[in-house]
Every structure is written in structure tokens, then in C-alpha cells.
Structure 1
Amino acid sequence: MIIIDAGHGGVDPGANGHGVTEKDWTLEVSLHQYHFLRKLGIQCKVTRDRDVLLTPERRAALVKQSGAKVCISNHYNAGGGSGAEVIQSIYSKSKLAKQAADALMAAGMPVRRVFSRKGTAGDYYYMHRLTGSVETIIVEYGFLDSAIDMKKLSIRSFRLQLAEEAALAAVKYSRGVENSLYVVQSGAYYAKDKAEKLCEELKQKGYEAFVRRMN
């Protein structure tokens, strides 16, 4: 089980830059990860599926009580800088965070750093401090106020690709997979109806199958 957290929401907009509000993009990529993993037959949940405010306590409780092994908390940065960041708990062995960072880098997003931050009561970030035994990583996919990052992030298909790579890294980690996770493609069509027909045929034969649009 994996739980996906769409950072911010409601009256908490998060970061802003180049006309983009963080809460909107975190919800976009989180819902994409959810449907992406469900189509692969992987159990997952989300902390929010619409634009609502969750208090830190409520958000952390949803993660802690989810029964998940891993949580991906999705975010975008601002404040001067460039590149993705992955933040782990001070008690983590860093394997999950490193796998996620490596996946983002392989997909074409430079990674600024993988780090943890200590606070006065343990972890600085409540998503690490209050989520119990669920191993949580905070993924900052880039800086909204960086022209360099936004040149890539403004392309929706690239944002979704990064989200998929982070999700697959979490799956590999949760299942103890060291090497690559392979997805088999059975066919590719320009006509949607043909793709859906093949998908249905595969399902009838007992295979997990889904249609994915390639932009």
C-alpha cells in the first residue's frame, strides 16, 4: 500500500511562481499517480482528491492510519533555486529518497539535493514527525520561480512523467525490488477505439491492462 499526499490545498496555496499555484499542481500529479498505480494493480490512497484544506494533524493522521508502508508527499518549491529535492526523515536510511531522486534525474529533472532536517522535537517536517511508521518522503519537483525549471515543468506531460517515476520508485522500494521495474506494452495506436479494444481483450484473458495516452 502506498499513500499519496497532495501538498497544501484550500486556503493554503503553497508556493507561487510564473502564474502557477503549488496546490493545483500537487493535486494534479497526486491524482495522476493514484490512477497510474491503480491501473498497475497497486493499492494506493490519497490524502485529498479536491481543493480542500487539511490541517497538519489531519493530513498526518490520514497517512499514519492508512495502513501504507510508504507515503509520497508531493510539492513544488519557490524562493530561489533550481532542481528537484527529496526530503527524508532524520531516522530514514535514505534508500527510498535516493531511489526517488535517481528516478527524477533519469527522467530529465536535475536533482538539487537529497536531505533531512532536524527540529527541536525530532524531525523538522511534520510529515516525517507525525506519520508514525509510514516512511514518508517529501518530493519537491522543482522551483516555480525558476525560469530553468519552469521551462520543463510547464509541459504537463513532463510533470506527469516525473510523478510516475517517483511513484514507481516507491513501488520498487515497498516491494524490495533492487533493479528496474518493467512495464510491458502490447500495442500502440493512433485510434483510441483500437487501443481500448486491445485493452479489453487483454483483460478478458486475465492480464492487467490499461490505456495510456502518450503526448
Structure 2
Amino acid sequence: MRVLPCGADAVLLEFADGAEALAYRAGLEAAPLADVAEVVPGARTVLLRGRDATAMPGVIAAARAVQPRAATASAAGEVRVPVTYDGADLAEVAGLLGCSPEALVARHTELTWNVAFCGFSPGFAYLTCPDAGWVVPRRQSPRTRVPAGSVGLAGEYCGCYPTPSPGGWQLIGRTDARLWDSAADPPALLAPGTRVRFVATPAVAR
């Protein structure tokens, strides 16, 4: 773990890979640090923001002593996301993974996914799973507009687009779940630490 100062009142912890970052976060959830006002997870990092600059020496010392542990059920709970698996890239992704589209859907719905971090756009969650073979390359030519609710894969991540936007992820389906609601508290359906189960639903004509 690399410890990098980030301004006067924060420190960035950098890990070798996403698995190390998740294990560290699990340890942090089990034993929260005093004087930490905010924890911001990233793909391979965790940002700790102290309550003020004077707290940082103690925060850094305590951060070094955190014991990583296997991720367990988070206080964020579990969310079930309904998905219609009719994405434009479903067949291509199945071919990349060496299976049929039906088998891909079965694998995708059998797994428990975990929100590793959020970014890209409000409400966009990057989900990971324990299946090490679940890695899909991005599209060579990104789309200029991906519809809201699209469910896609890229690299080791799965994600659901809260709003229409450009994107290069491989689209395998779509969900009607409201992923971002600025009037809600919290506004994002999926927060870091949330466990996600995808549920296959029949296609409905639009």
C-alpha cells in the first residue's frame, strides 16, 4: 500500500489491484477510523479525508494499521436489479467468453456483484464479482449515445447507465430500475459496498 498526501486534510491509499482495495475497505468498515470525515473508494485506491489538517498524522498512522479482510455483507445491503437481456452486444460478448447468450445470462444472474466504487456520471456504479474469468474488452468503436438503463460490461466491471451518455461498454441488456434520483435521499440506488443481484425479466415491447 502506498500512502500519498492529498492536500492538507486528505491522504490517498494506493493498492496493487482492485481486490486489495476491496479487502482494505472491508477492514476499514469493520474498524472505522476516528477523525475520518469521508471515505472515497476508487478502482485501486481509497481516499481518506480527515476532519481537519491537524488530524492527519493520526489518520495516516491509523490507516497504516488497518487489517484487510474478506469482504462481507455491507451495511449498504443488497439490491435486486431487473434486467431484460436483449443488449446489442449480447451475442458478441457470449462469443468472447466462450459460451452461448443463454449461458451468459445464467452466469450474470447467478453471481453476486459488489459496487466497488462510483464515478463517470452521477449514479454510475462500477460492479465487480468474484469470477476471475469475467473480463470483457471495451468496444473498439464507442457509441455516441448509450440509452439510460443500459447494462454493460467492460474490463472486469459491470455497470448500468443512469442517464443517456456516450460509452464504449459492451451492452448486454437494459433495466427499468431508477438508478439516480436527485430528489431521493440518497440519490443513487447503488452505493459503494452494495451487493447486487441481477434478475432476468422478459422483454417488453417499447
TM-score (norm 2): 0.25
- TM-score of the superposed pair, with normalisation by structure 1: 0.24
Larger fraction in helix: 1
Decide which structure has the larger Cα Rg and report it. Answer: 2
